[in-house]
Amino acid sequence: MSEATDAHGMQVRDEFAHQADSFARSAGMSLAETLDAVVDLAPAAADARWVEVACGPGLIARALAPRVGSVLGVDLTPAMITKARSEAAAAGVENVDFALGNATALDIPDDTVDGAITRFSLHHIPAPVRVLEEMRRVVKPGGFVVVADHVTDEDGDAAAWHEQIERLRDPSHWTCLTPLRLAALGARVGLEADGEWVVPFEIDYDEWLGRGSGGPANAELIERLLGEAPATVESFVVRGEGDGRRLALRNSLYRWRVP
């Protein structure tokens, strides 16, 4: 299924049509160390075929391309697929391809790729377990499933506070998983845990706020919420002053093997 006919799918498409250019240009999203931390979890193999799920403008696909034989990026938002193709062409990366598609129903046969990877996508998707199921389904036995996402705190008050800000800033945000829940989803779909890492992720706060379609209109309310952070919050921290503020998110990486 490549059509986003449900209300949330339409919201995702609207949001990421809005963000296609700004996401592709975001310094924080393109930082080499952050991209490398994710793609280094894919073993280098010249004949390996990988799929990048919810690929956006293809930042991960292009970073992964030199390590493997080919990467197919799939995304629900047509504007992101257009952007991913033009960015790959401009960079002269030839072993990547991009297609419209839904992470919860991939148009890829069972057991046909060596690995599946996704970054910063699960928190936009109402049924993240379906995404992991699909990633597992398309990967051959012995292959890899790699997920990176910014997660929320296990503490309920901290998580609820965090979610308010995320949704005000980006109405396509669904919910951040906690580290325990994300690890449990992998086990639930029958994946074998193969490592878990936390990699520092910091971004310019004003750039992050302004990129979300709700950010500018809700800036004042978000500012008030920032002043009311529960003491237990660790996963979403704004530091610094004025124009130099930085947002630190907890960026959790997981690798699983397909049995």
Ligand X SMILES: C[S@@+](CC[C@H](N)C(=O)[O-])C[C@H]1O[C@@H](n2cnc3c(N)ncnc32)[C@H](O)[C@@H]1O
Decide whether 10 or 192 has the Cβ nearer to ligand X.
10
Name every residue whose Cβ is closer than 8 Å to that of residue 54 and which is 6 or more positions away in sequence: 74, 75, 76, 103, 118, 120, 121, 124, 125, 131
Give the binding site for ligand X (CB under 6 A): 12, 16, 29, 54-56, 59-60, 75-77, 80, 102-104, 119-121, 124-125
Shortest Cβ distance from residue 120 to ligand X (Å)? 4
CB of 104 to ligand X, least distance (A): 5
Query: Closest distance between ligand X and the C-beta of residue 232, in Å?
Result: 26
CB of 83 to ligand X, least distance (A): 9
User: Nearer Cβ to ligand X, position 51 or 158?
Assistant: 51
C-alpha to C-alpha distance for 114 and 95, rounded to whole angstroms:
15
> How does strand 68-75 pair with strand 139-151?
unpaired
Residues linked to residue 253 through DSSP beta bridges, in sequence order: 148, 197
Tokens 């979403």 -> residue? 236
Largest Cα separation within the chain, whole Å, is 52
- CB-wise, 22 or 232, nearer to ligand X? 22
Residue 34 Cβ vs ligand X, minimum distance, rounded to whole Å: 9
Cα–Cα distance, 139 to 258 (Å, whole number): 7
Cβ proximity to ligand X, 41 vs 76, nearer residue: 76
Instruction: Tell the burial category of 141 from Cβ atoms under 10 Å away from its Cβ (0-12, 13-18, 19+).
Output: exposed
- What's the CA gap between 10 and 134, in Å, rounded? 21
Q: In angstroms, what is the minimal distance from the CB of 122 to ligand X?
A: 9
Residue closest to ligand X, measured at CB: 56
